[in-house]
A and B are shown apart, each in its own frame.
Chain A
């Protein structure tokens, strides 16, 4: 069968409240830690939704939009850069599984 690219896989995920303007990221990442002391920058490859990316200069960036709330980064980051939480159903966006 056809293998999907991550963007195609994430395209199948249902999120709610995507367009709300007051959206606040439910996960906060202190990327200054990623970009100074972190020896592995592992979030850029372990995150199943690729919310953590690395630019050409090797700098880590975080964007919450595709987050599927799995928790991987909370355990994988051993440098204290990740403050993890669930999105607030009232304001944030969040994943709603059709199958689960």
Chain B
């Protein structure tokens, strides 16, 4: 192929597909390259896609009977657990029943493939239906650089050329490292391993057990016993006929505590409250993937250079500040912003580093970097040891005394709390934690 593209996108995940959609709508000639046999075939996520950007990408996506998403979320639950107990903060509201939904559960192998179909439709409707492509089963070996500027990619013996390259290769960002935007070795300090099972139920069992109605769904995060003392937390999300159950585990802590992720997953599944939720289910898939923590220290030192932009998790755009684990929404928005930068660059025929820096400014002005910046303290706090041991234990201890009725004189709850605090922490430590929490959230 001699023809030069306006842009080559590496990776057909959420970020790459969002970028492709914007480029197709702007009548750009582009090539989207995916190493898997179809978009999404190599991708794993928890996974809830938050926010309204999906509606922007695929307007009124919810009207499609068999769209790529599983369920919308109208029920959120945060559970603190010790060995015997589970103490939940639970919020369900019909306020979240109306589209555009504030969160949808997705399974990537299905969702990304569906989204790729929408991009194909946009390509067909564009001014270059025969010149833009989604190409699968191709592994990009190298980003071609000339005089500090990306000029295309190489795969095996073959080269493809373009005015610009968008790297949306995911968290294991080998190309981002190769072009020098991140060090060759990224230490484990702010990385986590996600591990997950997809468990199938009869749909009526699933709907009854989780109080689902139509396409409504639940997201549940877990702190404490779930991770067996390792930094991180657990999750359970309802899909249409399955649930996604898993953990994210701090990689450095896993190494130091000499634990096996699959053993911790079984430990989590054995908890009485979780076992009750999973009873009768059949595991249909086991998966794992690295995920970044949302700590800014792990981000590439730059997200652009001449003719090149990095977006999605390749840029380590992810955030877990305790309210929700966000990443796919960041990927979607960053892909959109990257594409917009390329469209403007083409208008001015300037793909230089200065022109590309507009992407970083746009990202800084968006909710993505604003949230990552404002919730750094929360990220650090969530990864503090007391958050996955002392605090959940304390909450559950208090819960046990508060909800126990044994026909002897009942102590005031303030006394129960004092006992629970003495057992697992101190008022002073809690005071400090409270101040940190109030500041960080």
Q: Which of B42, B254, B262, B285 contacts A13 (CB 8 A)?
A: B285
Q: Tell yes or no: B124 within 8 A of A by CB.
A: no
Within the assembled complex, what's the spacing in Å between the Cα atoms of A50 and B286? 13
Whether B202 sits at the interface, judged by CB under 8 Å, is no
Mark each residue of chain A from 26 to 61: 1 if its CB lies under 8 Å from any CB of chain B, else 0: 000000000000001010011011100000000000
Contacts of B139 in A (CB 8 A): 86-89
Chain A residues near B112: list those with CB within 8 A. 100
User: Can you pick out 27 interface pairs between chain A and chain B where the beta carbons lie within 8 Å of each other?
Assistant: A1-B278, A9-B286, A10-B286, A12-B286, A13-B286, A16-B37, A46-B261, A48-B261, A48-B288, A49-B288, A75-B186, A76-B255, A78-B185, A78-B187, A78-B188, A80-B185, A84-B172, A84-B174, A89-B139, A96-B36, A96-B41, A97-B44, A98-B284, A99-B107, A99-B287, A100-B45, A100-B287
Bound Cα distance from A40 to B258, whole angstroms: 9
0/1 string, A60-98, CB within 8 A of B gives 1: 000000001111101110101000111111100011111
- Interface 9-residue window, one of B190-198, B350-358, B383-391: B190-198
> Whole-angstrom distance between the alpha carbons of A27 and B122 in the complex?
37
A90 to B158 CA separation, bound complex (whole angstroms): 13
Contact of A99 among B36, B198, B261 (CB under 8 A): B198
Q: Which chain B residue shows the least CB distance to A74?
A: B172
Q: Which residues of B contact A4 (CB under 8 A)?
A: 197, 266, 283, 286
Of the candidates A1, A95, A98, the one having the most CB atoms from chain B within 10 angstroms of its own CB is: A1
Closest to B173 in A: A71
Task: List the A residue with the shortest CB-CB distance to B170.
Answer: A71
Q: Are A70 and B289 in contact, CB atoms less than 8 angstroms apart?
A: yes
Cβ contacts under 8 Å, A46 to chain B? 193, 251, 254-255, 260-261
Q: Which residues of A are found within 8 Å of B191, using beta-carbon distances?
A: 75
Distance of A98 Cα from B260 Cα, bound (Å): 24
Contact in complex: B172, A71 (CB < 8 Å): yes
- Given A72-B290, A97-B285, A3:B108 Cβ within 8 A: no
Write out the residue numbers on chain B whose beta carbons fall within 8 Å of the beta carbon of A74.
172, 290
**Contact indicator B255/A95 (Cβ below 8 Å):** no
Q: Please give the distance in Å from A26's CB to the nearest CB on chain B.
A: 9
Q: Assuming A46-B260, A49-B288, is B41 touching A1 (CB within 8 A)?
A: no
Q: Given A9-B197, A96-B42, A100-B107, does the pair A89, B137 have CB atoms closer than 8 Å?
A: yes
| Minimum-distance CB pairs A-B, first 9 | A9-B286, A100-B108, A100-B109, A48-B288, A71-B290, A71-B172, A70-B288, A42-B255, A89-B137
CB distance from B166 to the nearest CB of A (A): 18
| B43 and A97 contacting across the interface, CB-CB below 8 Å | yes
> Among the listed A3, A84, A96, A99, which residue makes an inter-chain contact with B110, where contact means beta carbons less than 8 Å apart?
A99
Give the interface SS of chain B, mostly helix, strand, loop or mixed: mixed
Assuming the contacts A46-B261, A68-B287, A86-B35, asked whether A99 and B275 have C-beta atoms less than 8 A apart, the reply is no
A100: which B residues are within 8 A, CB to CB? 40-41, 43-45, 107-110, 112, 287
| A100 vs B270: C-alpha distance when bound (angstroms) | 23
A65 CA to B149 CA in the complex, in Å? 38
Instruction: Answer whether residue B269 sits at the interface, using C-beta atoms and an 8 A cutoff.
Output: yes
B273 located at the interface, meaning its Cβ lies under 8 Å from any Cβ of chain A in the complex: no
**Which of A76, A85, A86, A99 is B109 in contact with, Cβ under 8 Å?**
A99
A71 to B170 alpha-carbon distance, docked (Å): 11
* Among candidates A10, A45, A49, residue contacting B258 with C-beta atoms closer than 8 Å: A45
For B, the interface residue count at a CB cutoff of 8 angstroms equals: 58
B248-283 interface mask toward A, CB cutoff 8 Å, 1 = contact, 0 = none?
A: 000100110011111000100110000100111101
The residue in chain A whose Cβ has the minimal distance to the Cβ of B191 is: A75
Q: What is the CB-to-nearest-CB distance from B47 to chain A, in angstroms, rounded to a whole number?
A: 8
Interface residues of B in 214-271 (CB under 8 A from A): 242, 244, 251, 254-255, 258-262, 266, 269-270
Q: Which of B34-69 contact A (CB under 8 A)?
A: 35-37, 40-45
Distance in angstroms from A52 CB to nearest chain B CB is 11
Set of chain A residues within 8 Å of B188, measured between Cβ atoms: 75-76, 78
Nearest neighbor of A45 in chain B, beta-carbon distance: B260
B362 within 8 A of A: no
Taking the complex as formed, is B171 at the interface, i.e. its CB lies under 8 A from any CB of chain A?
yes
Q: Are A69 and B42 in contact (CB under 8 A)?
A: yes
User: B138 near A: Cβ within 8 Å?
Assistant: yes
**Docked-complex contact B254 and A68, CB < 8 angstroms:** no
Task: Report the minimal beta-carbon distance from B172 to chain A, rounded to whole angstroms.
Answer: 4
**Pair B290/A70 contact, Cβ less than 8 Å:** yes
Closest residue of A by beta carbon distance from B279: A1
Known: A9-B286, A46-B254, A75-B191. A98 touches B109 (CB 8 A): yes
